[in-house]
A = this chain, B = another copy of it.
Amino acid sequence: MAPAFEQVPEDTETQTETPHNTPHTVNNDGQVDYKSRVTVVGSGNWGSVAAKLIASNTLKLNSFHDEVRMWVFEETLQSGEKLTEVINRINENAKYLPGIKLGKNVIADPDLENADVHFVYGETGNYAVKDANMLVFVTPHQFMEGICKRLVGKVRQDAEAISLIKGMEVKMEGPCMISTLISEHLGINCSVLMGANIANEIAVEKFSEATVGYRDKREIAEQWVRLFSTPYFLVTPVQDVEGVELCGTLKNVVAIAAGFVDGLDMGNNTKAAIMRIGLREMIAFSKLLFSSVRDSTFFESCGVADVITTCLGGRNRKVAEAFAKNGGKRSFDELEAEMLQGQKLQGVSTAREVYEVLSHRGWLELFPLFATVHEICVGRLPPSAIVEHSEQKPKLSVF
């Protein structure tokens, strides 16, 4: 019997470089520079790991300049030193990814767009996003609107962006994905990268997968795949920006639900059921918002795998477990401050944003799990409601 469906041909392009498809610069001496420059906007835990992955590849690939510039929100450490100075001296992000060498070609830069910070590394008048053909955004999502506003008119108009940020902005006119926010403010194309990516595990080079979601240009997706892929980090492109981005965003709401189940000591069947119901609500919600979203995206790393890793080990799960163990008597803000050493939960705010969308559109009854997570987070329902409300028959046919 012959296979009933398509075999994928060997990908001969993976390490082939296509400089003519990428934006390029004319140098001061009049020569065309076909090499791309990469800047990472953000330097937290995941941003630092992303810089490490990228920096290992720019050294190897001829189509990229070696240097990877990383914009760092400047902080003064307890030692009195600036965070950027420490990163550039010891080649580690001592605060958010201690013990991991980023690569000597990662240059920390406190000046995002040459506003009010005097730049000390490199030529005067330079700043982090200047000359970058490829911009990697990886900050907490609540800072992105402000960052976008600061960057208007400061980035190359032929630059390509990619967002690693989870979350969305909910406005009067409806939800706005971060990739859309970037595209609309800066007038540039924006892809996304999401996946089962607990940063500290990738930092120590344990095998992971990720998904690049792109809009239409396959060659741009392949450029991002080359920039991020390593033998231990396998990246697959899919033509579904919204699907990939919504996976990364909504999985944190499912992780909160899974954490409640853990805190209630309900066992693995119940946890698996809640994760599955959550995944179905992710699919239904994504398809209702964007009819272009593909079912197959949810079988990629950004879908089912990220739901699994986030519900097994992530910080949303952990704090939600503590919340349920305390019977909802201690708030998420209090537990977050106590348990996360300054890192922020995305799931609680995403649950609120999703709830606003559901409420505004009259969809609350169609998404009992998403709605219930928010109601529990704000104290209107007890943690045990997560199971009781999920026992209802689904009201939406997803497929």
Instruction: Give bound CA distance, A207 to B265, whole Å.
Output: 12
Whether a CB of chain B sits under 8 angstroms from the CB of A395 is: yes
Instruction: Give bound CA distance, A197 to B234, whole Å.
Output: 32
Within 8 A of B (CB), among A360-399: 361, 363, 366, 387, 390-391, 393-399
Instruction: Give bound CA distance, A6 to B260, whole Å.
Output: 30
A269: contacting residue among B198, B287, B387, CB under 8 A: B198
Contact B304 A304 (CB under 8 A): yes
Known: A196-B272, A198-B268, A396-B3. A391 touches B312 (CB 8 A): no
A276: contacting residue among B8, B196, B279, CB under 8 A: B196
Instruction: Give bound CA distance, A391 to B266, whole Å.
Output: 34
Whether a CB of chain B sits under 8 angstroms from the CB of A209 is: yes
User: Closest Cβ of chain B: how far from A61's Cβ, in Å?
Assistant: 18
Instruction: Give bound CA distance, A208 to B305, whole Å.
Output: 21
Residues in B with CB closer than 8 Å to A397 are 5-8
Copies in the complex: 2
Contact A299 B283 (CB under 8 A): yes
Residues in B with CB closer than 8 Å to A5 are 287-288, 396-398
Nearest to A276 among chain B residues (CB) is B305
Instruction: Give bound CA distance, A306 to B295, whole Å.
Output: 19
Residues in B with CB closer than 8 Å to A306 are 272
Nearest to A291 among chain B residues (CB) is B4
Whether a CB of chain B sits under 8 angstroms from the CB of A202 is: yes
Within 8 A of B (CB), among A282-314: 283, 287-288, 291, 295-296, 298-301, 304-306, 308-309, 312-313
Instruction: Give bound CA distance, A381 to B8, whole Å.
Output: 26
Contact B287 A301 (CB under 8 A): no
Whether a CB of chain B sits under 8 angstroms from the CB of A201 is: yes
Instruction: Give bound CA distance, A3 to B207, whole Å.
Output: 39
Nearest to A202 among chain B residues (CB) is B269
Known: A267-B198, A295-B295. A273 touches B399 (CB 8 A): no
Residues in B with CB closer than 8 Å to A329 are none
Residues in B with CB closer than 8 Å to A208 are 269-270, 273
Nearest to A208 among chain B residues (CB) is B269
Chain A interface residues toward B at CB < 8 A: 1, 3-8, 11, 196-198, 201-202, 206-209, 231-232, 234, 266-273, 275-276, 279-280, 283, 287-288, 291, 295-296, 298-301, 304-306, 308-309, 312-313, 361, 363, 366, 387, 390-391, 393-399
CB<8 Å pairs between A and B, sample of 29: A1-B288, A1-B361, A3-B363, A4-B287, A6-B397, A7-B395, A7-B397, A8-B395, A196-B269, A196-B272, A196-B276, A197-B269, A198-B267, A206-B269, A207-B270, A207-B387, A208-B269, A234-B391, A268-B312, A273-B301, A276-B299, A276-B300, A276-B301, A279-B304, A295-B295, A295-B296, A299-B399, A304-B304, A312-B312
